[in-house]
C-alpha cells in the first residue's frame, strides 16, 4: 500500500466527499486521528457512514439518526469491520472529522490532521482485519508524510476530551502501535 502523487491511497475504493476544503498549509500534515463510528449506533455493515460523508443520509431511517440532520462531516478514510477501506478526501485536503479540537496547544486539528474512521463503537472490540489495515495505512502515511510518526497517532477523545470518547476503551492502542516498529 502506498500514497499516490495525488494524495489518494492506491488500490482503495474512492468516494469523494463534498465535505472538505483546502488546508491552511498543505505541507503541514502532522497528526492522525483515529475515530470509531457506526450508523445507527452499534449496527455494522450498513451504507450509512458513506451516506453521511456524502450528504445523502436519510435520517428518517432510524430515530437514532435524528441528531445527524443537516450535519456535514467527512473523514479521509473509513475502514469497515472486514478491513475494506474507502477514501473520501485526498490527504492533501482538509476533511471535516475532528470538530472543536486541540492537540499539543494547536487548535483546529482538521487543518493539520488525517482522520481515519473505523467501523465500531467504544465498547466492542475492533477486528483483526481493521488493525492490520490500519497498520498498513499508517505505514504508507509515515512513508509519504515525514511529519507523521507513531507519536502523532491519537484517538478522537485525546483532541476533544469531554466531548468525544472514540475510538473508546475497546480500542487496543498497544497492539496497534507495537506493530508499527
* Catalytic machinery residues: 117
Residues 6 or more apart whose Cβ sits within 8 Å of residue 127: 81, 82, 83
Contact call for residues 3 and 57 (beta carbons, < 8 A): no
Coil, helix or strand at residue 119: strand
136 membership: H or E segment, kind and range:
helix 128-144
Of the CA atoms within 13 Å of residue 71, those in its CB half-sphere come to 17
Asked whether 177 and 153 are in contact (CB, 8 A), the reply is: yes
Q: CA Rg, the chain, in Å?
A: 15
Q: How many Å is the maximal CA-CA distance in the chain?
A: 45
CB distance 35 to 158 below 8 Å:
no
Q: Shortest CA distance to 99 belongs to which of 110, 89, 90?
A: 110
Amino acid at each position: 500500500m502506498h500514497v499516490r502523487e495525488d494524495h489518494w491511497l492506491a488500490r482503495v475504493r474512492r468516494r469523494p466527499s463534498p465535505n472538505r476544503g483546502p488546508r491552511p498549509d498543505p505541507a503541514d500534515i502532522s497528526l492522525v486521528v483515529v475515530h470509531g463510528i457506526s450508523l445507527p449506533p452499534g449496527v455494522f455493515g450498513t451504507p450509512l457512514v458513506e451516506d453521511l460523508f456524502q450528504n445523502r443520509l436519510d435520517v428518517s431511517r432510524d430515530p437514532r439518526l435524528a441528531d445527524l440532520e443537516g450535519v456535514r462531516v467527512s473523514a479521509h478514510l473509513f475502514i469497515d469491520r472486514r478491513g475494506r477501506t474507502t477514501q473520501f478526501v485526498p490527504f492533501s485536503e482538509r476533511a471535516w472529522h475532528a470538530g472543536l479540537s486541540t492537540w499539543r496547544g494547536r487548535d483546529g486539528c482538521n487543518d493539520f490532521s488525517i482522520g481515519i474512521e473505523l467501523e465500531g463503537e467504544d465498547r466492542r472490540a475492533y477486528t483483526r482485519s481493521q488493525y492490520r489495515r490500519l497498520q498498513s495505512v499508517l505505514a504508507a502515511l509515515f512513508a509519504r508524510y515525514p511529519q507523521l510518526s507513531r507519536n502523532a497517532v491519537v484517538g478522537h477523545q485525546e483532541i476533544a476530551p469531554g466531548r468525544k470518547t472514540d475510538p473508546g476503551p475497546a480500542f487496543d492502542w498497544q497492539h496497534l502501535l507495537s506493530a508499527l516498529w
